[in-house]
Chains A and B, each alone.
Chain A
């Protein structure tokens, strides 16, 4: 497929992520926290009396942000002050490029791969690009000519370095299981199921095809194969996202607002937008790596297409399967977004030393142990299978 064919796919993705999810996140954030705290939440913005359960608030927010005065502090670096929010936001947006939100489909002679860039080193690309966002935050703190801003920027750098180690190491277990860094291959691999008690048969304790061995089948999702890595990776990613409970760089009670203290208007809004897009990216990445990506559990792609083609023909069957898979993917993403918001509004924020302790003394050793356990497990299972 030549490059031009990616354009509509990329545009669709950009539309969904930047124009639907990010503004909706402001609504989700307000409404979900309200429901969790027995409140009602934002519901006042209306157009001609239509309130639409507060869904118009993102529009009101955007108008407010854009029309506000945009100030650069005296002594601040005007160029870097303007560039910093862009540097902080763009990586979050482009890192969605490698996350597949559907499989591969043939319809009317064309092949549809529902991923913008199917890179060999997919996950590494996300790690690399996501850490670029740190520069935006550090530059924002430095260009503000403000001590609190500077402290916030330094804290961003410290926290990102601490948690990137744990993040990278905890993902290694998943790479070992699936034997790939390419997220589409992980997605295809996770369509399979495995028998939880299969080892009993392979050890020769019972005969082949015993009914209770065949009964318990589990999808080969990352969360079932690597449950520890799931929690470690999610924790590290949430710390990377630097929202509460890991909002050390913002530290409202200590350094007021941290790196974006001197920002106003849409430049201020861009930092928040970047964080919200990051929440979506985290959910997409977790879905692709741990929750089976686009696949519907117990229903592999080819079986689904085979089932659908009886009524409507192969082409339409492929299209229908594609729609079902995209819907499944975004459903999983929405569940993960909900879970992240649940954590964000439940867990009290950590102190600075607690964040560092958690990163270096708990997450890193545990993720190293996870690699050893995974390696041993692969060895032992390989022995049993033979």
Chain B
């Protein structure tokens, strides 16, 4: 059975008000003037009606799913949770992670001697976080990475370490998300 053909009837002839043009301009002016006076009144009485966030001073709370740049979770002794298995290095599509592992006599036998993430290549995809079996690399909420040189874009182990408190709800969200 063929589908029913619906003919769209466009209004080719404008109405009188539209052709006169002026009435609609006054409608438009009324709308903008209303916004003007509403916001002006908001400023005068100190109750702002605008939803602009004054960025560096005021910041919005990002949602849990927000992916900032990846960081390393630190143990209580300040050492990374990471066991230098290399899965994140392998999962990374942009090859921005470089790990140099080393052995120790401690309970956890392996640890990364060097753990570098090249932020000029990282694309915030979160695959490293997904690949990590130890919950050792986690996407943070930080996105403020702008610098004047390339050097500071290469983050080393000491720059990347964060405690679990600093990461906040992200770890809980991550467990919930990857448990599915």
| A interface residues, Cβ below 8 angstroms from B | 32, 35-40, 231, 342-343, 345-347
A315–B14 CA distance with the chains assembled, in angstroms: 62
Residues A38 and B28 in contact, CB atoms below 8 Å apart: no
Residues A38 and B32 in contact, CB atoms below 8 Å apart: no
A345–B33 CA distance with the chains assembled, in angstroms: 10
Residues B25 and A38 in contact, CB atoms below 8 Å apart: no
| B interface residues, Cβ below 8 angstroms from A | 22, 25, 28-29, 31-33, 35-36, 39-40, 43, 49-52, 54
> With A347-B25, A347-B28 in contact, is A38–B33 under 8 Å at CB?
no
Q: How far is the CB of B89 from chain A (nearest CB, A)?
A: 43
A343–B30 CA distance with the chains assembled, in angstroms: 10
Residues A346 and B28 in contact, CB atoms below 8 Å apart: yes
Residues of B within 8 A of A342 (CB): 29, 32-33, 36
Residues of B within 8 A of A37 (CB): 35
A77–B89 CA distance with the chains assembled, in angstroms: 62
> With A40-B54, A342-B32 in contact, is A35–B25 under 8 Å at CB?
no
Residues B39 and A38 in contact, CB atoms below 8 Å apart: yes
A343–B33 CA distance with the chains assembled, in angstroms: 10
Residues of B within 8 A of A39 (CB): 50, 52
Please list the 4 inter-chain residue pairs (A to B) with the smallest Cβ-Cβ separation, ordered nearest first. Answer: A35-B39, A346-B32, A36-B32, A36-B36
Q: How far is the CB of B82 from chain A (nearest CB, A)?
A: 42
- From DSSP, what is the main secondary structure of chain B's interface residues? helix
Residues of A within 8 A of B49 (CB): 38
A32–B39 CA distance with the chains assembled, in angstroms: 10
In-complex Cβ contact of A346 among B22, B29, B39 (8 A):
B29
Residues A35 and B29 in contact, CB atoms below 8 Å apart: no
Q: How far is the CB of A86 from chain B (nearest CB, A)?
A: 35
A282–B28 CA distance with the chains assembled, in angstroms: 22
Residues B35 and A38 in contact, CB atoms below 8 Å apart: yes
Residue pairs across A and B with CB atoms within 8 Å: the count is 38
A343–B28 CA distance with the chains assembled, in angstroms: 9
> With A32-B36, A342-B36 in contact, is A38–B29 under 8 Å at CB?
no
29 contacts between A and B (CB under 8 A): A32-B36, A35-B35, A35-B36, A35-B40, A35-B43, A36-B32, A36-B33, A36-B39, A37-B35, A38-B35, A38-B50, A38-B51, A38-B52, A39-B50, A40-B50, A40-B52, A40-B54, A231-B22, A342-B32, A342-B33, A342-B36, A343-B29, A345-B32, A346-B25, A346-B28, A346-B29, A346-B31, A346-B32, A347-B25
Q: How far is the CB of B165 from chain A (nearest CB, A)?
A: 34
A347–B52 CA distance with the chains assembled, in angstroms: 24
Known: A35-B40, A38-B39, A346-B29. 4 other contacts (CB 8 A): A35-B39, A38-B52, A39-B52, A342-B33
A345–B40 CA distance with the chains assembled, in angstroms: 16
Residues of B within 8 A of A35 (CB): 35-36, 39-40, 43
Residues of A within 8 A of B54 (CB): 40
Residues of B within 8 A of A38 (CB): 35, 39, 49-52
Residues of B within 8 A of A343 (CB): 29
Residues of A within 8 A of B43 (CB): 35
Q: How far is the CB of B34 from chain A (nearest CB, A)?
A: 9
A63–B49 CA distance with the chains assembled, in angstroms: 33
Q: How far is the CB of A224 from chain B (nearest CB, A)?
A: 19
Residues of A within 8 A of B36 (CB): 32, 35-36, 342
A257–B36 CA distance with the chains assembled, in angstroms: 28
A231–B35 CA distance with the chains assembled, in angstroms: 24
Q: How far is the CB of A13 from chain B (nearest CB, A)?
A: 29
Q: Which residue of B lies closest to A53 (CB)?
A: B43
A166–B54 CA distance with the chains assembled, in angstroms: 46
A346–B28 CA distance with the chains assembled, in angstroms: 7
A38–B42 CA distance with the chains assembled, in angstroms: 11
Q: Which residue of B lies closest to A343 (CB)?
A: B29
A35–B29 CA distance with the chains assembled, in angstroms: 14
Q: How far is the CB of A346 from chain B (nearest CB, A)?
A: 4
Residues of B within 8 A of A32 (CB): 36
A371–B37 CA distance with the chains assembled, in angstroms: 37
A32–B22 CA distance with the chains assembled, in angstroms: 23
A347–B30 CA distance with the chains assembled, in angstroms: 11
Q: How far is the CB of B50 from chain A (nearest CB, A)?
A: 5
Residues of B within 8 A of A345 (CB): 32
Q: Which residue of A lies closest to B50 (CB)?
A: A38
Q: Which residue of B lies closest to A235 (CB)?
A: B22
A186–B49 CA distance with the chains assembled, in angstroms: 43
> With A342-B29, A346-B28, A346-B29 in contact, is A36–B50 under 8 Å at CB?
no
A32–B32 CA distance with the chains assembled, in angstroms: 10
